[in-house]
Amino acid sequence: MRTINLGLSGLQAPVIAVGCMRINGIDKSEAEGFVKAALDLGANFFDHADVYGGGTCESIFAEAIGMNSAVREKIFLQTKCGIRPGVAFDFSKAHILASVDGSLRRLKTDYIDVLLLHRPDILVEPEEVAEAFGILHSSGKVRHFGVSNQNPMQIRLLRKFVKQPIIANQLQLSITNANMLSQGLHVNMTDDGAVNRDGSILDYCRLEDITIQPWSPFQYGFFEGVFLGNEKFPQLNAKIDEIAKKYSVSATAIAMAWLLRHPAAFQPVTGTMNKGRLADCVKAAEITLTKEEWYEIYLAAGNILP
């Protein structure tokens, strides 16, 4: 599969990341088959979080892939920490260190390629984050670091204290959740599209060489459902189907190709546990939509050119 530079890490990572949040929803044989299919497709960058399935997703994945030293060197593992469900978002030194140790045990590995802070902690003490990152990096437990769902000022605050580069920022982004992109078209306007809801995080990440990892690339709203094949989006689906027919691929591939067309070099995170749909996502890496096709899809989603 086509690869990208992941931030300033020096890692050449697949342009598609395989999200493992739902791997606890399939049985053992299905999990083994899915992971094997991903590897056969060249999709060897796997995204986890300590809270996915209460930790079970990491354990199931390690069993499914048959984790050992030989396997480990052929894959990239990314996980996230910082959420204590129903309690708090916690970026304390103690919680970060304990979370990483838990993920290492469940994933049956002695190092994580990328650790992301999972959603902002309002009470963050960046000095503690820096201490935790320093310990994890010097011990070899974590090689690279990033964040999730953070705006430019939150990242800048961390970077004031953290010595390691912030290489990735995982953010919600799809054709129907594209305010991050559309606000750039509405500069100096008075309409709703001009509202800057994220501090120009797209431009900031591009300027600072931070890779944006779009999550829920096929969802609309906040986990309200997928837009593909959804009767709520007739014009969008008609346009996607039209372009899919031109390229002889699925609608899934075109929706993913729409994200990959952006020059920021996104690394979208899939959420499917279906081998066929994962293959469609990977196929998108071979497609480069024209500028006109990209905007046709953008407009069909209900966006405007002011």
Catalytic residues, which ones? 52
Q: Considering just the CA atoms, what is the radius of gyration of the chain in Å?
A: 19
3-state secondary structure of 189: coil
3-state secondary structure of 209: coil
* CB-CB contact of 300 with 238 (8 Å): yes
For 81, phi then psi, to 5°, come to: -145, 165
Q: How far apart are the first and last CA of the chain?
A: 37
CA distance 171 to 213: 6
CA distance 133 to 155: 14
* CB-CB contact of 169 with 201 (8 Å): yes
